[in-house]
Structure 1
Amino acid sequence: MEAPEAIMICIDSSQWMNRLDRFYWYTLQLNCVRSYCVAKFKSNPKNAIGILKMGTRSERQKNIRPTSDLDQILDFLENNRVSGGGLSFFCGLQNCWYILQQLYPRNQKRILMFTGGYVFVDFA
């Protein structure tokens, strides 16, 4: 069995994914996340996986802190919608790294990022 890992998955929930010709991409993205989580928990049930939405209008939306509860993650993915706004890639990356450093300082860490649209860069 592998050593336990702390994993954060960033999903693209920007307005780019809300376009009719791109909505299928959003569904595929969620299916990939679902398959990845099932495989990771199968390899080691002590893994902790969290999900962060990177759309700039995601502040009101619920994100998932790293957890070992696969049912909670699958429920989140089942009830997930595109939140809109730009894709805040760097902010999402910083938030994930901070969460992993604070909650799991000794575990191996992974950040998995899905991007399907333009990246919003805020230098302010």
Structure 2
Amino acid sequence: MFKTNNSSSSTKEAKAEAIIICLDSGEWMENTKSPMFMEQVSAMQYYCQKKFKHNPRTIVG
């Protein structure tokens, strides 16, 4: 089970995270007229924006 900490977490600085993101850029993705690659890019951008807003020290590669 998880323990909950009743102390105020707003005074503590969030720990930095390291995140690795992989996108499918294979030949099929490039040669089809499907918008799936750009949808992956949009999802990655949205995810990163939320992570950076939560903790600017987060590293994405």
What TM-score comes out, normalization by structure 2 length?
A: 0.72
Structure number with the higher helix fraction is: 2
Q: Is 1:29 aligned to residue 40 of structure 2?
A: yes
Question: Residue 26 of structure 2 aligns to which amino acid in structure 1?
Answer: S
Counterpart among 41, 62, 75 of residue 52 in structure 2 = 41
Give the number of the structure whose alpha-carbon radius of gyration is greater: 2
Whichever residue aligns with residue 20 of structure 2, its letter is M
> Are 2:56 and 1:6 aligned?
no
SS of match in other structure, 2:18:
strand
Count residues with an aligned counterpart.
48
Tell me which residue corresponds to 1:53. Answer: none
Unaligned runs of 5+ in 1: 51-124
Specify every segment of 5 or more residues in structure 2 that has no aligned partner in the other structure, as ranges: 1-12
Identity %: 38
**Which of the two has greater strand per residue?**
1
Larger RCO: 1 or 2 (CA < 8 Å, sep 6+): 2
